[in-house]
Amino acid sequence: MQFKDQLDFVSQHIKKNKLRVFMTILAATMGTAFLIILASVGFGIQDTLKKEILDNRLVTQIEVYGADLNTDKADKMKKLDHVKAVVLRQEVNASQETTLDKYTSPSGLLVSDFEEEKKAGFALEKGRLPNGKYEVVVGHDFAKNLMNEEEVEKFQNQQQGKESNEEEQAELELPHYKGDLLGKEITYEIGSYETNESYKEPIKLTIVGIAKAPAKDFILDGKLYADASLIPELDAIYDRHKAEESEESLFYSNLNVYADELQNVKGITTSLKDDGYSVYSISEELEQIDVFFLALKAGLIFIGTIAILISSIGIFNTMTMAVTERTREIGVMKALGAKPKLIQRLFLLESAWIGIIGTVIAVILSYAISILANYILPLIVGAALGEEDFNELNVTFSIIPWQLVVIASAISIGVAMISGWRPARKATQIDVIDALRREL
């Protein structure tokens, strides 16, 4: 009996019991769709969390911690394999004031090696990076920190006579510098934290660039970024005015190492740990997240598999009924010389057909539900929380990767065939004489 004839045989018998087979396929579809949708939530949450972690951060960046980070150690790190850049940033640890015309700002100064910053991808909105000792780049929000005391006081007095709710008060913006910053000369001074007084040794700096805005709106960047060549002059001013017994340094440092590719981050991280440094990289956090979500997705798939197992009861009952109804037919086939393997194959084909059709429908249905969920749920959650902009956030509730479809299909079709195996086995054991004696 050729395979095509076997398929025709199975198709004819399925058509005789359309309603029963339809209900069995429906149960298989619901079980498989439940597995896919349930597991897709785990994939969606993982994707959203990863995007949140990676937002505004470089995956190749390794943060190095320590109290004694310096240029010598940074130079040694540059010699490690697959290191693209080593950025040592040193922030001034003193009272600071910047003046532009009649505007002043308490913004802090950060010094760095801009050759390394360029390799690491320091992003500018306007202008260029510093080339000299007295050139600086200012943060995107530096202008908001430049204020005139008289204008601020006048503005606050005007607001006192107005009635406004707390939200309107929070949205009010204090008057600040509105002009173009590029090319402007600013005066920078450091002073004592204890007395809050300037050392009266101003340094003239020229703004040559404006840094790109941080990716997240709630992060404000009002810093001054200067070249490391300015450090000796700042140290000299500090040494002339600090208390004789004080051993506190003017700068505190943070150091970032940048790998050339993501796959090399782990190796560099291990090398730095072996050298005794405390380090952190996003790759380590992502690994922990992947392990957690692997366990979560496995649990969700297990729960979904239970639903498929429940639906397999329907397949078992359908195939058992099919064997009972076709007892005489099976006897005729045996009498004509049909081997037990052929009879078993026919019933296994029928149960597999039910599993395949149910799986195909379930996959199509799951993708449709996933698309609708990602479109509708943000609107519902945003309305429930009273946040109109919730649907604009990068939140994914459901993702169905091809691997999930393969796993769910294998489980569904496998369970369907296992459910049909026992009835198929029973069909091969039917006695020919007893079967032929049965009434049609």
pLDDT digits (tens, 9 = 90+) for 21-80: 888 889 889 999 999 999 998 898 888 877 776 654 567 888 898 768 888 889 999 999
Q: Which amino acid is it at 350?
A: E
> What confidence tier does 85 reach under pLDDT thresholds 50, 70, 90?
very high
* Cα angle: 195, vertex 157, 96; to 5 degrees: 25
Q: Residue 377: CB partners within 8 Å, gap ≥ 6?
A: 397
Place of tokens 């500090």: 238
Higher pLDDT, 245 or 160: 160
pLDDT tops 70 at residue 162: no
Pairing of strands 109-112, 124-127: unpaired
Please tell me the predicted confidence (pLDDT) of residue 137. Answer: 94
Distance CA 224, CA 208 (A): 11
How distant, in Å, are the alpha carbons of 416, 424, 430, 432 from that of 326?
Answer: 20, 12, 10, 12
Please tell me the predicted confidence (pLDDT) of residue 129. Answer: 93
Place of tokens 């190749």: 60
Which of 15-19, 352-356, 408-412 is predicted least confidently?
15-19
Share of the chain above pLDDT 70, in %: 85
**CB 165, CB 120: distance < 8 Å:** no
Question: For the chain, first and last CA: distance in Å?
Answer: 24
pTM for this model (two decimals): 0.61
Please tell me the predicted confidence (pLDDT) of residue 112. Answer: 93
Backbone angles phi, psi at 420, to 5 degrees: -90, -10
Instruction: Kindly report, residue by residue over 350-396, the tens digit of the pLDDT.
Output: 888 888 999 999 999 999 999 998 888 877 776 776 655 555 556 78
Query: What's the residue count for the chain?
Result: 440
Pairing of strands 203-211, 135-138: parallel
Share of the chain above pLDDT 90, in %: 27
Token digits for 69? 């980070």
pLDDT tops 90 at residue 243: no
What is the pLDDT averaged over residues 275-294?
82
Please tell me the predicted confidence (pLDDT) of residue 170. Answer: 47
Report the phi/psi class of residue 310: left, alpha or beta, with left for phi > 0 and alpha for psi in -120 to 50. Answer: alpha
Residue spans per domain, the chain: 3-55+289-437, 61-260
